[in-house]
Amino acid sequence: MDHLYDVVIIGAGVAGCAIARELSRYRLHMAVLEKESDAGMGISGRNSGVVHAGFNCTPGTLKAGMCVEGCRRFEAWCRELGVPYRKTGKLVVALGNEDLAPLQALMDAGVRNGVQDLRIIGPEEMREMEPHIGGIAAMTSPWTGVTSPYELTIGLAENAHANGVEFYFSHPVTRIRREGNTYRIQAGEQMFRSRAVVNAAGLFSDRVAAMIGDDTYTLHPCRGEYYILDKRISALLHRPVYPVPRPGEGGLGVHLTTTVDGNVLIGPSAEYIEEREDHGTTREVMEQLYQEARQLLPEMERKDIIRDYAGIRPKLVGKKVGGFGDFIIRESDKNPGFVNLIGIESPGLTSAPLIGEYVADILGQRLPLAVRPDFQPVRRPPVRFREASDEEKARLIASDPAYGVIVCRCEEITLREVLDAMNNPLGVRTLTGIKYRTRAMMGRCQGGYCLPRMVELLQETMGLAPEEVTLKGPGSELFSGRVKTGTCTCSTCST
């Protein structure tokens, strides 16, 4: 039997979850279909987490308007969702004289977009703001901030779920067919029927559009590689620092980004690739990242690197042209009630509050949007033991001894936090799901201490067999079988 909905959203990235949360304000029966095992496992969990002010966007574009307004609303949005956010400001640095004219052009574009309080400053004021950063001039952007991209996406999904949205993980969409006034969608082993469909499939949104006959879109995957630095570096950097962007590149240049958790990111690079899910890092690019980052922050050393990773941008503009295209968010000309989101790359995270409202306005032309009086916009944030005062920690331990047991020493994550993450509202039971909800395994040792305990807890608490424990869902099992044990009878042991 088909599952019947008013709206089906394909993709549980930040855009899809923002749309789900926005539409959950209304009396609609909705589902989100996601091919991965959790929300935010694609583009949304593999970016810098920067809340952009909007000066990098071409004036007059949909992207520019959404970014500027999204930035203004972002702090209040994160407060509702119980998600960390810091308004850090940002410096865009001119490393040489050839960068001065592009720096001025960047500021002029920002002013035209309505970005507030942009200024170009000289080296003395730069040194006052960031004593360890090189360069001859900079533009300062006080409205730029940082958030946790995966916590934000999970927060949106959990709040949408609390307001009635159903999530189906590990359900890749393989077929869509229009039948009269509804759409029939094959996802995994199940069939769904819906009056409206929102295609927020990120890197695969062009292919999803093609399933229903919209074959005019082509996305070009562009990989960005990153380093994660130890928290020691956070004492040397107080805000994101970017170089002046170079024309024709697929990104904004290699930059240093502070995070809400105290680490610093180097990256991303920008390399067009063929495979849409090739998240590998490469020695040549990583060496280039390190050398370019040292131009901005000479005191950084290789020993400060604790991990590398990569994310992939769904670019509408190919390698020969380079640069950035505008967001495509519109109802299909051929298929009423089918809304496509194509090319939602940076600043898609910053724009997410506006993307949700924009899609709701489009669907409001097709569906009755009756406001639910019981909509709950506030999500209670998870306890973050490491951020509590000594008095608050003592109170938490007195109320629940599980707060007194440290599972992850690097990040000071307690047993209670891990258990709460295992019992998350979305029903996710993977190591990465727990990691994204707690930061366990994200510290200096990268799980060397806490990973075995996490595996034990999944077995003890969730009743999983060792072979059922996965990193991020089916196909990422940690154990493939058992080793036979017994008494050794070799001549060495027997003597």
- Show which residues are catalytic: 52
Cα(162)–Cα(476) distance, rounded to whole angstroms? 29
Cα(376)–Cα(25) distance, rounded to whole angstroms? 8
Cα(9)–Cα(32) distance, rounded to whole angstroms? 5
Torsion of CA 62, 65, 67, 70, to 10 degrees: -120
The length of the chain, given as a count of residues: 495
- Closest listed residue to residue 222, CA positions, set 351, 318, 326: 318
Exposure b/e, 444-467, CB count within 10 A at least 16 = b: eeebebbbebbbebbeeeeeeeee
484 CB neighbour count, 10 Å cutoff: 5
Helix and strand numbers (H, E) in the chain are: 13, 22
- Cα angle 21, 62, 153 (rounded to 5 degrees) comes to 30
Cα 159 to chain centroid, rounded: 16
The answer to whether the beta carbons of residues 251 and 268 sit under 8 Å apart is yes
First and final CA of the chain: distance in angstroms?
A: 67
89 CB neighbour count, 10 Å cutoff: 17
Rg (CA), the chain: 24
